[in-house]
Amino acid sequence: MNPTPPNLTRRHCLSLALGSAAGLLAPPLAAARSSGPALLLAQDADGLPDPAPFLVSEKLDGVRALWTGSQLLSRGGLVLSAPDGFLRGLPAGVALDGELWLGRGRFDATSAAVRRQQPRDPEWRAMQYQVFELPGAPGPFAQRADTLHRMASRATVWQAAPQRRLADAAALKQWLDAVVAAGGEGLMLHAADAPYITGRHAVLQKLKPLHDADAVVLGHQPGRGRLAGQMGALRLRTRHGVEFDLGTGFTDAQRAAPPDVGAVVSYTHRGFTPAGVPRFASFLRVRTDL
């Protein structure tokens, strides 16, 4: 089944000539300071999809960042304090959507670097800004991806996220296994013929060995036995209003200083019970990019 929705009209266009993109500010960015910019968000893939309609890239374990053409914003709309040299390397007037990334398995280091009010040049010299979308640009995703790769050939501080065409589900599974074995999270599948849209939509799907979700911390359950004097579990509420205890996946340091009540945390799971409780849930991280 073709995952692409009906074509959407856009008032703002981006010329495909690399030199004529100045002045683009994608329409979704207008709300950036109040509620965060409107972005395209991925749905979980249902099983192992046929990859033929998609362009496929690695799912990066980094921090989502939107370049408006003049500011670098977090997913939640906060202005990120990147060094001036890094910001000067981003295209003036052209909106980019991507992931700030220090490499596989380095989410905590990436998050710490991005959250500093006084950025550290050595951290940002190692930082990759892997860009996977041109917000507001016309045409299908395949066309936008080609434009990004041409633009990135002249860039100094950002990269176009590599996109692959895969022939069948076997090839998709082979690459997924290779990425996970190398310490990666999984894969992203973006419908090649999809126009630029925002919101959570099936034109963008994430494929991982485990699912992940977010929940709000309601409280802390005390530990017992070996965990006496520490946090034993977090009491969480999912976005659907289901409450449950999460007691696995924590380091000793995290148990000694657990996430605050009201914090948003991510956890992995293997599906849900009929009552909506996550199966085999395990703590992943505190969300600091909202």
Domain boundaries, the chain: 18-207, 211-286
pLDDT in tens, 145-187: 999 999 999 999 999 999 999 999 989 999 999 998 998 989 9
For the beta carbon of residue 81, count every other beta carbon within 10 angstroms: 14
Q: Tokens for 56, please give them.
A: 């496929």
pLDDT band at 35 (very low <50, low <70, confident <90, very high): low
Instruction: Compute the CA torsion angle 44, 50, 56, 62 (nearest 10 deg).
Output: 20
The topology (CATH level 3) of 18-207 is D-amino Acid Aminotransferase; Chain A, domain 1 (3.30.470)
* CATH H-level, domain 211-286: superfamily: Nucleic acid-binding proteins (2.40.50.140)
What is the per-residue pLDDT for 2?
Answer: 39
Backbone angles phi, psi at 33, to 5 degrees: -85, -20
What is the per-residue pLDDT for 22?
Answer: 29
Q: Answer yes or no: is pLDDT of 16 > 60.
A: no
Q: Is 59 a catalytic residue?
A: yes
Q: What is the maximum alpha-carbon separation in the chain?
A: 65
Nearest alpha-carbon partner for 225 in 247, 253, 243: 247
Backbone angles phi, psi at 179, to 5 degrees: -65, -45
Distance separating alpha carbons of residues 152 and 271, to the nearest angstrom: 38
Looking at the chain, how many residues does it have? 290
pLDDT in tens, 189-206: 999 999 999 999 999 999
Least confident of 51-55, 64-68, 269-273: 269-273
pLDDT band at 270 (very low <50, low <70, confident <90, very high): confident
Instruction: Give the chain's end-to-end CA distance (angstroms, integer).
Output: 33
Q: In 3-state terms, what secondary structure has residue 282?
A: strand
What is the per-residue pLDDT for 268?
Answer: 86
Q: Which residues of 29-52 are buried (b: 16+ CB within 10 A; e: fewer)?
A: beebeeebbbbbebeebeeebebe
Q: Answer yes or no: is pLDDT of 33 > 80.
A: no
Residue % of the chain over a pLDDT of 90: 71
As a whole number, the mean pLDDT across the chain is: 87
Distance separating alpha carbons of residues 253 and 50, to the nearest angstrom: 42
Least confident of 31-35, 66-70, 122-126: 31-35
> 283 vs 128, 233, 275, CA distance in Å?
26, 10, 20
Q: In 3-state terms, what secondary structure has residue 229?
A: coil
Residue % of the chain over a pLDDT of 70: 88
One DSSP character per residue, 249-265 reads S--HHHHHSPPPTT-EE
* Mean pLDDT value across residues 55-84: 96
pLDDT band at 212 (very low <50, low <70, confident <90, very high): confident
Handedness of CA 15, 19, 25, 28 (dihedral sign): positive
User: What predicted TM-score, i.e. pTM, was given to this entire model?
Assistant: 0.69
What is the per-residue pLDDT for 290?
Answer: 60
Handedness of CA 203, 208, 210, 213 (dihedral sign): negative
